[in-house]
Chain A
Amino acid sequence: MRNNAAISKGIDWSLVWIYLALVLIGLSAIFAATYQEGDPVLQSFVAFKTDYSKQFYFWGIALVIGFFILLTDSKFFPTTANFWYAVGIILLLLVFPFHSRIKGTESIIRIGAFNFQPAEFCKIFVALALAKYFSRPETNFNRPGSQFTAALFVLIPGGLAILQRETGLALVYFSFFLMMYREGLPSIIPTIGFAFAILIIASIIIPPNILAILLSVIAILLIYFSRRQIRRRRQILTSILFIWAIAVGIQRFAVPFIFEKVLQKHQVERIYNLFGKDNPYDPQQQALSEEASRKKKESGSSYNVRQSKIAIGSGGFFGKGIFSATQTRYDFVPEQRTDFIFCTVGEGFGFLGSMLLLGLYLALLLKMINIAERQRSTYSRVYAYGVLSVFFFHIAVNIAMTIGLAPVIGIPLPFISYGGTSLLTFTVLLAILIRLDADRQMVLR
């Protein structure tokens, strides 16, 4: 009894409840998406055959591991953080010679019946290691050197994930910049990032020449309105001209370079489809007639989004009920157990159900921020923000892509999507957070 009391002492139960609720919603959503009438439910649970039973067992494993994490001494995490990070990177590197041949990805190692995706659970190690780095007394995040080192922690696994053709997972690593922002990343960096994003979107929507003229007009207007200041300080003129040159340069050269050389064709297509446009960098697409390109769109990547929107949209306010949800039950939405699981919720339970799920997620995220802010040790706080960043990115991007607000990036919805690795990863991330929070009175180094 005393032991038990010690473990549960300080544990934030609200997180646990939210976690259990989400996993149960996820299980029923997977059940709804894959159950066919007449399937023997009990038997399939025993036989480990169907997706919902597999997910159920994964959950069991995740619970066991989570429980062990709760039993662990908090000091264990900062002490071994660097070791775990090293393990993670090594695993990521091992993928290159040992990855299995599974559709369109090179990020999976197969051991026996299980698939491991190191890029997925390496998130945990990065969060731990970053927290460790930030909590070192000698780290001063105001120094560019420290900023650079911190960025390296993120960019190395991110870069490796890109090399494994897992752009979606790689982007998740960039979400740690949200945490870094909280820890004092100069505002100028997110501002530049934001401006860069706007410029890219603008160059997708607006034809290049017109955009160049627009930018020039803005620059001239700026110079005109700030002519007095310029008279006093020549530097302002220089910087305006410099920014103008950079902007035009990005729009004219960097964007085409990224779309043509860096990103893969289907990714560019997804981005363009998001704005309802054809990919201009695809010579094949150019050659297609209007009719053919429309057809291609209907069957291509925007097919997913279109079907997903139909499924969610047809759910209405109350939803159709899980077994009458024609769109998700009859496989109209591809990948609906994994990345597009939100469709099942949207169609089966309607606006009401979606709101409930979103509410749970919002509660989870806000709770994480609160938890982070109440930590006494930097280590715990940074780690909490790291977890928050990862969760936020997954939730926002996944849901946004199913309703056509974000390009299709193959990342799972935490606790809901089918997939053992992702369920395990998120459970571990959360369990460590709960463990650290339970010991928030301690100062960890």
Chain B
Amino acid sequence: MAVYNQSRSNTIRLIVIITFVIITLQLFYLQIVDRRYEQLAMDNAVYPKVIYPERGIIYDRKGKAILNNTIIFDLMVTPAETKGIDTLDFCRLMNMDTSEFRKRMVDAILKNTSVRPSVFKAMLTKELQARFEENSWRFPGFNLVERPLRTYPYHAAAHILGYIREADKRDIERSNNFYRQGDYIGKTGLEAYYESVLMGQRGVQYMIKDNKNRLVGTYEGGEYDTAAIAGRSLRTHIDIELQQLAEALMNNKVGGLVAIDPKTGGILSMVSGPNYDPNDLSGPDGSKNFSRMQLDVSGPMLNRAIAGRYEPGSTYKPLGALIALNEKVVNASYGYPCGGRYTLCGHGKPECTHAGGGHAANVRLAIANSCNAYFAHIYRLTVDNPRYKNVYDGYLHWKEYMNAFGLGVRLGVDLPNESTGGIPDTVVYNRENAGRWTSCTNLTLGIGQDKMQTTPLQMANAMCIIANKGYYYTPHFVKEIEGEDPDDESLLSRFQKKHDVLTNIPDVVFNEVIEGMSDVVKVGTARGAQIEGVEVCAKTGTAENYTILDRRRIKLPDNSMFVCFAPKENPKIAIAVFVQNAGFGATWAAPIARMMMEKYLLDTLTAKSKIDSARIASTNLMPSYFKRLQYKEDSIRAFKWFQVTKDSSYIDRFSFHESSPFPQSPFRKNPAEQELPNWVKILSGTCLPERGIEKLKTFSA
């Protein structure tokens, strides 16, 4: 009976064996043939945790840290571990209502699941941080996590230093994926220009994670980890106290200011108005302030000192004199009988503020009295020089001089987005005048108008050339890089190169013009720039300007300009100040420059200057048309917003029922929220860096 179906036992054996063979084959495929699974397992379980290096610090000329790193704390939450906490108590502690609490919790869970930590509140204020730390034991599941933050102990030099932000898609693409999501990258200013130095080197720590993506330990005992290398620091030429003063003086003004040490080309101070506190972009409200500033029509993010294009006006005149003298079309004693206007081109323009009295009897006098007719005339003499074939050739020759002075070209300052300014080619005039034009066509180039455009940096650099009698060093901020290596050579070596652009002009010619500029201060238009015991050489400038608003061309107040260097012998500082829509150059720009020189050369302000500085700092010279422009921009944006979202909450603020013609823009800071203006603190000496943040550092030469 037992042998009944015995043959079937072999069938069963076969079934068993075949099944095992199939399993073996699949195992062979999974474990030996297909190597994909190894990588998948690595991806599953090993997390390369990026260790961010500390970014380099930036010091001023005296070794004070004007930009520093600090730690701010993010409040993190692991929702699954928060069971049983007193929500109400927590909310009271952290100043939020329970609905806000619930919303943040849900966001955290949606973003990172309830078992992984996510940011509950980014960048706690000092007060909240202290309050939480005291009570943290009552709130399991919540903890503080450090995050590095840039701070600016002097609240100054925003445009110079620039700012860092998380690298966006374009940065990542441009860097060939060197940068990754979450990396910080310098976006403007020195932060961007010296990014490779400041950023340091990222480290990687390989961590093992579990199925819920929690990190549970190091991978292979840290064998494959690389340490982070901190970024290197920069030592700059900036004089931070001078910078603070300059910013205070440029408060509520549109324009640019540049101060350079002519002996080295080192930039001592650079301000662009309107200005902002760099801490605004870095703290808890960074993003909010960033978007507010981007939407501000006055352009607080724009560095007008290197990118603002201004007609130099009369500040050009010393250059015009140098060119004419060097070209020998006039000599030092050449005079022009100015009767209040220039008549030789037939239209009686330009006009002159003086009439007769021999106010343009020689070059020195002409500079001191800023005679328009005189300089228009010598411009004509220069381009119509019989040594050249025709006016076109003469003009090109003149333009060569201009470029040698650094106008119409990029100087190569160590900041991104420098403007070339504008000295037009003959092509432009040919096109506009059908190829037929004379020196009368662009006559006002001789007084720094027409199509001549310069940046404050270029004019300050031109002053350096005059002060140095023919040479300059490329204006720059950075003096030294900590632990300099051969790669940095290419960054800094070009700043050590002396540019002998105009040393072909004899010193006697320079001296003539320098004397003229000295007279400007002594007896001429800029008597307000006199400094006791220091011989200042300067030139004022005033330029008309217009804008188009609501389809009407309206005349705006003149731009106030001032260029200078001091002392006359052995110059130590050269300054260019441009204040938009302020009035005469002597009224606003000159005193600003004077106080800068006082501060830098004498290390303190005179009693008179202290009063002046407060007056100037507190004067609001923001052009009034900005209000109208902002209103237009904001309302248009609000309308577009309404069109897209059908959300009328913004556009309501611009509705006609509002009584005020310019209702408070939702994109601007409410004046009531603003604390004590910065300039008050700086001038009263209370805006000193907080203790402990200041970090003095000596560089090994």
Contacts and interface: CB of A to CB of B under 8 A. Distances in A.
A403 B30 contact: yes
A211 interface: no
Contacts of B643: none
A369 B16 contact: yes
B22 A330 contact: no
B211 A332 contact: yes
Interface in A390-424: 392, 396, 399-400, 403-405
Contact of A355 (B19, B24, B45, B216): B24
B123 interface: no
A98 interface: no
A326 B37 CA distance: 13
B41 interface: yes
Nearest to B36: A313
Contact of B27 (A310, A314, A354, A369): A354
Interface string B1-38: 11011101101110111011011101110111010111
B41 A310 contact: yes
A11 B144 CA distance: 67
A327 B37 CA distance: 11
Interface string A168-188: 000000000010011110000
Nearest to A315: B31
A314 B19 CA distance: 23
Nearest to B30: A313
Contacts of B15: 178
A279 interface: no
A332 B44 contact: yes
B73 to A, nearest CB: 29
B58 interface: no
A400 B1 CA distance: 36
Contact of A183 (B5, B32, B41, B212): B5
Given A181-B8, A373-B9, A403-B23, A331 B211 contact: yes
Contacts of A316: 31-32, 38
Interface residues of A, number: 48
Contacts of B17: 362
Nearest to A303: B211
A326, A327, A350, A404, most chain B CB atoms within 10 A: A326
A185 to B, nearest CB: 9
A313 B5 contact: no
A259 to B, nearest CB: 25
A375 B4 CA distance: 13
Contact of A327 (B2, B27, B45): B45
B41 A311 contact: yes
B563 interface: no
A225 to B, nearest CB: 29
A281 B49 CA distance: 43
Contacts of A37: 217
A373 B16 contact: no
Interface string A297-339: 0000000000101111111110000000011001110000000
A331 B210 contact: yes
A392 B16 contact: yes
A296 B420 CA distance: 57
A405 B27 CA distance: 10
A396 B23 CA distance: 8
Contact of A346 (B24, B31, B34, B45): B31
Interface string B192-214: 00000000000000001111100
A312 B16 contact: no
A381 interface: yes
Contacts of A376: 2
Contacts of B46: 326
A326 B44 contact: yes
Contact of A326 (B5, B24, B27, B45): B45
Contact of B32 (A351, A378, A392, A404): A351
Most buried by A among B11, B26, B27, B36: B27
A318 to B, nearest CB: 10
Contacts of B26: 400, 403-405
A182 B5 contact: yes
Nearest to B39: A314
A35 to B, nearest CB: 14
Interface string A129-142: 00000000000000
A11 to B, nearest CB: 21
B644 interface: no
A258 interface: no
A431 interface: no
B678 to A, nearest CB: 51
A189 B423 CA distance: 100
A178 B37 contact: no
B contact patch SS: helix
B40 interface: yes
A307 B17 CA distance: 27
A349 B24 CA distance: 15
B44 A327 contact: yes
A399 B23 contact: yes
A428 interface: no
B45 A332 contact: yes
B415 to A, nearest CB: 45
A365 interface: yes
A311 B22 CA distance: 19
A369 B13 contact: yes
A365 B36 contact: no
Contact of B208 (A178, A309, A326, A405): A326
A183 B12 CA distance: 12
A350 B27 CA distance: 9
Nearest to B13: A369
B580 to A, nearest CB: 54
Nearest to A399: B23
A404 B22 CA distance: 12
A366 interface: yes
Contacts of A327: 41, 44-45
Nearest to A354: B27
Interface in B212-232: 212, 216-217
Contacts of B11: 181
Nearest to A183: B5
B37 A313 contact: yes
Nearest to B24: A358
A6 B4 CA distance: 32
B38 A314 contact: yes
Contact of B41 (A314, A351, A378): A314
A434 interface: no
Interface in A342-379: 346-347, 350-351, 354-355, 358, 361-362, 365-366, 369, 372-373, 375-376, 378
B697 to A, nearest CB: 44
Contact of B30 (A181, A312, A355, A375): A312
Nearest to A375: B2
A399 B31 CA distance: 14
A433 to B, nearest CB: 16
B71 to A, nearest CB: 31
A171 B444 CA distance: 101
A405 B21 CA distance: 13
Contacts of B13: 366, 369
Residue in A307, A373, A388 whose Cβ sees the most chain B Cβ within 10 Å = A373
Contact of A312 (B9, B27, B209, B211): B27
B112 to A, nearest CB: 16
B37 A372 contact: no
B29 to A, nearest CB: 9
Contacts of A332: 44-45, 210-211
Given A351-B27, A351-B28, A354-B27, A369 B210 contact: no
B7 to A, nearest CB: 10
Contacts of A307: 44
8 contacts: A182-B5, A184-B5, A313-B36, A332-B44, A354-B27, A400-B19, A400-B26, A403-B27
**Ordered nearest first, which 8 A-B pairs have the shortest CB separation?**
A313-B37, A314-B41, A326-B45, A330-B210, A313-B30, A331-B211, A351-B31, A332-B211
